[in-house]
Amino acid sequence: MESYARGPEFALTAKTAPQVFSDTAQRFATREALVVPHQKIRLTWNQLAEEVEKTARGLTGLGLVPGDRVGVWATNCAEWIYLQLGCAQAGLVLVNVNPAYRAQELAYVLKRSGMKALVLRAFDSRSNYRRILEEAGSVPPVVYLGEESWDKMIANGVDVPALDASCHDVLNIQYTSGTTGSPKGVLLTHHNLVNNGKIIAHGLRYSEQDRVCSPVPMYHCFGCVIGTMAVIASGAALILPAPGFDPLATMQAIHDERATSIYGVPTMFIAQLTHPEFSRFDFTSLRTGVMAGAPCPIEVMNRIVKDMHCSQMTIMYGQTECSPIITMASVDDSVELRVSTVGCTCPETEIKIVSTEGAVVPIGEQGELCTRGYANMKGYDQDPDATARAVDKDGWLHTGDLATMRPDGYFRITGRLKDMIIRGGENSIRARWRSFFIRIPRSPMCRWSGCPMRGSARRWLPGLS
Ligand code: AMP
């Protein structure tokens, strides 16, 4: 038996993101859609639709036309969602910009994406973005969140032109480290993202009764797809507990908002479970959630099920290039199955494991996990060579992850072909650090070492030797 599996059939939609959002907003008009405690914002679907409309009009008023690219460079906030859905409504392509970027990476992404406008917050506890932007040099027109330029943009809004959008148009560009050091812009369409959200919502059994606590970053596919796209597919409410991950704020939000679902990478759960104030919070509202990004130790999953009352916690696997989710554990799977595998193939998706020679390997044998289906990216932005290296002529995306397939169709991620480490859920390509250190005069050798840090199980730091 070969390591090949095809997921079940599923009714994929040809609707665009604004169509799905509009349907949900009308259907659940007066139910809660978005809660952002750190901004004291609480909106129903009706109210969220108004904010999205204002944002779409404001962006159009800036002179942006359908197909133009708009960067969003901010930690988690309500405006991130207005911009995500507002860009879609105005036919604009959202470009996610990582808040961790410094001048060199920002300059690269600004130039490479050709964005026509950038929306950012001037500064927060993490960074002074205004200063980094100045260092980056040539910049497109900017709008500052929470400042006069944002208010002016909203006040000067104009009617959005009638759109003739296809579900196969690019909706979003998400930058990923790729395997060679420079960030690559992954082109994702409405069809990719809307359907991935729909399949995730289906797998988690989301309904309008659910309340999803999402402390993961919005700039990453975990936040903007497993978060936003899954809630617009289902009518569940989205709760953004803090600008960046904060275990205390996350637990407070679960408690106060009676969250039914919780997201995170394993280190985020460990930070909550080991927090000295953990026992102060009521987690009994939790039912499900998503853990992804790295393997989960069984002790952690056992505690999530027992102490966080999250009996239907799921494990998902994928990567930005496939929208992102391609395997998922079922909410009914045993805990043992949920920690020892990353689930089985998602609907409308094919997966095979291949040897270095490209042959499909027998069940149980390790090889590279490849995938094909509706979720595969349109390609890397303006980089046909990199696209051709990642997606072969038969449409198989080579993930760079090593995996095995079990006879029951469940997959285990066993390693990585990529020269990458995952730090608190965020990927770091060693070549990127190397290219950074190499620019420092008389730079010493660079090596990696792990060291324990407060609030996280472990962090990797590039060290000098
Ligand atoms: P990204 O494109 O930033 O979402 O990173 C995707 C990468 O994270 C994958 O290629 C894997 O190496 C890793 N990854 C994602 N989910 C899991 C998981 N459940 N278990 C192990 N590794 C994972």
63 burial type by CB count under 10 A (0-12 exposed, 13-18 middle, 19+ buried): exposed
Distance from Cα 356 to the centre of ligand 1, integer Å: 20
Residues of the chain with pLDDT under 70: 178-181, 419-465
pLDDT at position 126: 86
- Among candidates 268, 327, 316, 267, which has minimal Cα distance to 288? 316
Distance from Cα 318 to the centre of ligand 1, integer Å: 6
Phi, psi of 102, deg, nearest 5: -110, 180
Residue nearest atom 20 of ligand 1, based on CA coordinates: 294
Measured from the CA of 426, which atom of ligand 1 is nearest?
Answer: 3
Global pTM? 0.92
pLDDT at position 357: 96
Q: What is the rounded CA–CA span in Å between residue 262 and residue 431?
A: 33
pLDDT at position 182: 76
Q: Is residue 444 part of a domain?
A: yes
Q: Is residue 449 part of a domain?
A: yes
Q: What is the rounded CA–CA span in Å between residue 411 and residue 364?
A: 9
Distance from Cα 137 to the centre of ligand 1, integer Å: 33
Q: What is the rounded CA–CA span in Å between residue 192 and residue 321?
A: 10
Contacts of 315 (CB under 8 A, 6+ apart): 290, 291, 292, 296, 328, 329, 338, 339, 341, 342, 343
Full domain range(s) for residue 431: 427-464
pLDDT at position 178: 53
- Among candidates 314, 113, 97, 100, which has minimal Cα distance to 226? 314
Q: Is residue 377 part of a domain?
A: no
pLDDT at position 417: 87
pLDDT at position 460: 46
Residue of 177, 401, 426 best suited for mutating to test ligand 1, as the one with most atoms within 8 Å of CB: 401
Q: Is residue 353 part of a domain?
A: no
Instruction: Please check whether residue 158 is in contact with residue 90, taking contact to mean a CB–CB distance below 8 angstroms.
Output: no
Q: pLDDT (tens digit, 9 = 90+) per residue, 391-442?
A: 999 999 999 999 999 999 999 999 988 766 555 556 655 555 555 555 565 5
Q: What is the rounded CA–CA span in Å between residue 315 and residue 32?
A: 27
Place of tokens 């099920």: 305
Residue nearest atom 17 of ligand 1, based on CA coordinates: 293
Question: Per the structure block, which two tokens stand in for 298?
Answer: 């069984």
pLDDT at position 189: 98
- In the 3-class helix/strand/coil scheme, how is 286-342 assigned residue by residue? CCEEEECCCCCCHHHHHHHHHHCCCCEEEEEEECHHHCCEEEECCCCCCHHHHHHCC
Q: Is residue 454 part of a domain?
A: yes
To which H or E segment does residue 412 belong?
A: strand 411-416
Q: Is residue 103 part of a domain?
A: no
Q: Is residue 438 part of a domain?
A: yes
Measured from the CA of 222, which atom of ligand 1 is nearest?
Answer: 4
Residue of 427, 428, 430 best suited for mutating to test ligand 1, as the one with most atoms within 8 Å of CB: 427
State the amino acid at position 372 in one-letter form. Answer: R
Ligand 1: residues within 6 Å at CB?
A: 176, 221, 292-295, 315, 317, 319-320, 324, 342, 399, 401, 413, 416, 427
Residue of 179, 196, 317, 419 best suited for mutating to test ligand 1, as the one with most atoms within 8 Å of CB: 317
Q: pLDDT (tens digit, 9 = 90+) per residue, 193-219?
A: 999 999 999 999 999 999 999 999 999
Distance from Cα 444 to the centre of ligand 1, integer Å: 31
Residue nearest atom 12 of ligand 1, based on CA coordinates: 401
Distance from Cα 138 to the centre of ligand 1, integer Å: 33
Strands 170-176 and 184-189, bridge-based pairing: antiparallel
Task: Look at the chain and report how many structural domains it folds into.
Answer: 1
Phi, psi of 456, deg, nearest 5: -150, 150
Distance from Cα 257 to the centre of ligand 1, integer Å: 29
pLDDT at position 394: 98
> How many beta carbons lie within 10 A of that of residue 284, not counting itself?
11
Q: State the greatest distance between any 2 C-alpha atoms of the chain, in Å, as a whole number.
A: 63
Distance from Cα 437 to the centre of ligand 1, integer Å: 26
To which H or E segment does residue 198 belong?
A: helix 190-203
Residue nearest atom 5 of ligand 1, based on CA coordinates: 319
pLDDT at position 377: 98
Instruction: Please check whether residue 52 is in contact with residue 82, taking contact to mean a CB–CB distance below 8 angstroms.
Output: yes
Instruction: Please check whether residue 402 is in contact with residue 414, taking contact to mean a CB–CB distance below 8 angstroms.
Output: yes
Instruction: Please check whether residue 137 is in contact with residue 254, taking contact to mean a CB–CB distance below 8 angstroms.
Output: no
Measured from the CA of 315, which atom of ligand 1 is nearest?
Answer: 19
Instruction: Please check whether residue 428 is in contact with residue 421, taking contact to mean a CB–CB distance below 8 angstroms.
Output: yes
- Among candidates 132, 131, 125, 147, which has minimal Cα distance to 38? 125
Phi, psi of 86, deg, nearest 5: -70, -40
pLDDT at position 139: 83
Q: Is residue 431 part of a domain?
A: yes
Measured from the CA of 399, which atom of ligand 1 is nearest?
Answer: 10
Residue nearest atom 7 of ligand 1, based on CA coordinates: 319
Give the relative orientation of helices 247-257 and 266-273 as an angle to the nearest 10 degrees: 80
